[in-house]
Amino acid sequence: MGIVRTNQWLEEEFDRPTKICEKLLPYFKGYTANEIYHQLISFGMYKPSRSSKYIFDMMIKENMWDEVEKLLQHYQKKWSGPDIPIFLFPIAQSGGFFFRVEKNKSGVSYPDKMFLFLSPLDDSKELEALFVHEYHHVCRLSKLNKKMNQYTLLDSIIIEGLAEYAVLKNCGRNYTASWCHMYTEQEIKGFWKKYLNDQLDRKKNERTHDQLLYGGGRIPKLLGYAAGYQIVKEYYESHHYSTKQSFTIPSSKFIE
């Protein structure tokens, strides 16, 4: 497992990403290469262009595959985390589920694999922040061992809050996502009562789930993310759990 050398795949088939996704078929049972590519596009994967080729060349120059390998070894040991395949590709910013888009990098996590979509970074700590967030997801998802369609809005809110609180603890406040500081504590409490409190059982496959998690329109932007961070922060201040404990604490505990 560990870091998959997608740089070799990209060297050979950069302009034919569906051919690259054929190599991912063993990791997505029941999907076609085209379906895999469209799923990954929704999370931030590149589309062939001159700019995305430039990003790939810079990823090679900055040895990003080796850098992520070091991060995996460090946090896998620190957290007793699972040994999973990690795939790196150039970014084309977009949105998705269990993802973090911040400063031209994003990622998506599954219980058994992880994808990072990257561009050149001025500060290597930004790469660590993304890795911490996504690998925390992997650790929690693998421990909870639920099917994706069983996750509720509350689960998603807590998953995001826990992952970004891990960024705070391991990388510092300067590397937390912008949505952590988007609203005041009082604003979050008001939004919780108005928008979230009666919708927490909404499943991931229900439209309302994503509307409330991501916000937009009449709903405050990234509401679920911001609320999750605030809830986890308050919980930590009174309970002082360890990162390893955070992989298994039930979502309901955070709002008791």
pLDDT of residue 241: 86
Amino acid at 164: E
- pTM: predicted TM-score of the whole model, two decimal places: 0.92
pLDDT of residue 236: 94
pLDDT of residue 137: 96
Give per-10-residue mean pLDDT for the chain (256 aa): 95 98 97 97 92 94 96 97 97 53 77 94 92 96 89 97 96 94 96 97 94 93 96 93 92 94
pLDDT of residue 95: 41
Phi/psi of residue 48, each to 5°?
-60, 130
Phi/psi of residue 81, each to 5°?
-80, 165
Q: What are the structure tokens assigned to 127, written together?
A: 């790469």
Q: Are 91 and 118 in contact, with CB atoms under 8 Å apart?
A: yes
pLDDT of residue 94: 43
Domain ranges of the chain: 2-144, 148-255
pLDDT of residue 4: 98
Phi/psi of residue 108, each to 5°?
-145, 140
pLDDT of residue 99: 45
